[in-house]
Amino acid sequence: MRRIVAGMAAATMVLVPLTPALAEDLPPVQPVIEIAPEPEVPTLGPDLPAEVAPTEAVSAVVRTDDGTLEVATAPDVAALEQQTADDTVLAVDTPTRRYAMALPADDAGRDLQWGLNRLQAEDLWQRSNGSRVTVAILDTGVKASHPDLKGKIDKGYNAITNKAGARADNNGHGTFLAGMIVGKTNGSGIAGLAPGARIMPVKVLDSEGVGDSDDIARGIIWAVDNGADVINMSFGADTSNRVEAEAIDYARGAGVTLIAAGGNEGARLEMYPAAYPGVLGVGATDFDNKAASFSNRGSHIDVVAPGQGILSTFNGPKYTWTSGTSMSTAYVSAIAALAMSYSPGAGGEPLLQQIVATARDLGEEGRQTDTGAGMVDPAALLQQMGAGRAPGMPRDIAATGTPEGVARLTFTPAGGTTYVVRFKKGKKAPAGPSSGAKVAEGAGNWEPVTVELSGKNANKRYGFAVFVFGPSGTSRAVATLRPANWTLTESRSVPRNSTQKLQVGLRLPIFGWIGGWPLQLTTRQGGGNENVRRFVPSADGPDTFTVRDMRWSFHYQFTLLAPGFWNAASPQESQWINTTVSAKRGGRITGRVTPSKAASEVQLQRRAGNDWKTIATTQSKPNGRYSLPAKQGALRVYSPADLWHGPAANEL
């Protein structure tokens, strides 16, 4: 046996016959035959709308000689007149474009699911939602009672105990993957990429996310025999196993679509089952469309998909965040379900080949060891399968806000489209092209667009919606701005050791600490340069940072930047540590500057009218002690502010 580890993943006419008696009393009815006049074929001229130009394309609904209705279209009026000369023209007009409306997901966490944007989920749902497809998740089981999964989970099978049922999860990994695939678009929680599909849970991993290859083989065979269309395997090890391989071959022979995780070691390391023939190996990408730092490299990586900072369902708290090739694999399994739902004859290795063939290069052209054939492109996949071109939902939509109240939206509209940007205050973005306030519009040409709105309240929530009108319909993409709740350490003074510890993290109601999202922490001291730190937090709680080399007197500001949030900033403050200078007359004037970190300037001053004139200067020792010559008159000892303390004076 081999141990396997999960990768954190008309109207009706009624005829009543007459009774005989009634029939005898009635006089014979002579049939009346009405002869309709020969219909006059109308000319098009009077029927045309006044605004139709003679050379403009025009169409008509006509009744032909056999009584059927047809629609005739011609490049101009003259051609249509000739085409419909023998028909009865019922209506004439110029063709106008109609758009299919996007099916929006307004779930509470939809704006946080950047992977759905990257994969153009709302475009896909206009063509397929995964219905009639069963995805077997071979994993730790699935919490079937989760509100986003309820009614979507079959009974399943526990391959470890060889018993029916896997509708519980004592780890959470399987539940997380299920949400990514079939999470309900019900207005709360999160949305899955193939919400119409069903999940067949097959437990092959224990509470620690570890399983044996024989249990995995048993689970694969059971899933095949019980009607699985897709098998998601978000686990792996770096050695093959003959029993497991035989089960994979059995599934291949049955035409089941097999998808597996590429591994999270961040190394050139082939993992199984991803490396078996007939299995699609999946790597992970980050927010920047680059291979995630943890994603393995090698010939077993066929494609990549979003896998960093993913929000989904969980079995402890209802939702959590995590990263891994497990997550990327779940997205690809959902894509396979969408394809098979759209085209029921699709599946198996031919479908895997189509997924690879339609992937988009990331960087250099051709296959790469870290990204395979590139980013999966489900819109291109469905187009290749006959669904037509997708409307063109922006993949990179994002919103940020500044402490000054500027709400900023960025996105890249596809070429050959037009767009309208709508904006509104509240938890949800505008639902339709006429809701909210129109704040921008234009034509897409694959160039980035930035929309900025000033005068907004950084403590309130706002939503942007971009409606894109493409060749085949209308698409909607959303981005919201949420207040960023984060705290600096409560100390109101700079510690004597000139360091400051900061706890930085983003915590949301319902969804908890955000993990895996790229955050940027900026600190500035005085008029100095900004110090920018980019980091990826975990979902376990806030990250702690130490800001070193703080000064005893300075101006400072801390800011935190995260996509989807207001740029949280502490107010700019001036901090002057309370400094004292003691002074004692004797043969010399002596004393001490407190506190002290290094040698500081100390001045002996004599009153001159309403001012003070410096008559002697010295440097204190590192411990703050100083010595100045004795002088006559109204004197004071003065220590000006420097890097290590604020100003202080003592009159003698």
- Annotated catalytic residue, options 87, 106, 107, 139: 139
- Annotated catalytic residue, options 128, 323, 326, 472: 326
What's the rounded Cα separation, in Å, for the pair 531 and 545?
13
Q: What is the number of helices (H) and of strands (E) in the chain?
A: 10, 39
Q: Quick check: is 326 catalytic?
A: yes
414-432 core/surface letters (b: 16 or more CB in 10 A; e: else): beebebbbbbbeeebbbbe
What's the rounded Cα separation, in Å, for the pair 260 and 251?
13
**Residue in 518, 198, 143 with CA at minimum distance from that of residue 315:** 143
Q: Quick check: is 173 catalytic?
A: yes
**Residue in 595, 644, 598 with CA at minimum distance from that of residue 622:** 598
Answer whether the bond into residue 344 is a cis peptide, omega within 30°. Answer: no
**What would the two tokens of residue 331 be?**
């997205």
**What would the two tokens of residue 483 be?**
């207040």
What's the rounded Cα separation, in Å, for the pair 250 and 224?
8
401 membership: H or E segment, kind and range: strand 398-401
**Residue in 301, 219, 306, 215 with CA at minimum distance from that of residue 260:** 301
**What would the two tokens of residue 132 be?**
């009639």
**Residue in 84, 87, 86, 89 with CA at minimum distance from that of residue 74:** 84
What's the rounded Cα separation, in Å, for the pair 538 and 535?
10
**What would the two tokens of residue 596 be?**
């002290």
- Annotated catalytic residue, options 146, 173, 300, 645: 173
**What would the two tokens of residue 349 be?**
């290795």
Strands 198-203 and 134-139: parallel
183-220 core/surface letters (b: 16 or more CB in 10 A; e: else): bbbbeebbbbbbbbbbbbbbbbbbeebbbbbbbbbbbb
What's the rounded Cα separation, in Å, for the pair 644 and 635?
25
Q: Quick check: is 549 catalytic?
A: no
Residues carrying an active site annotation: 139, 173, 326
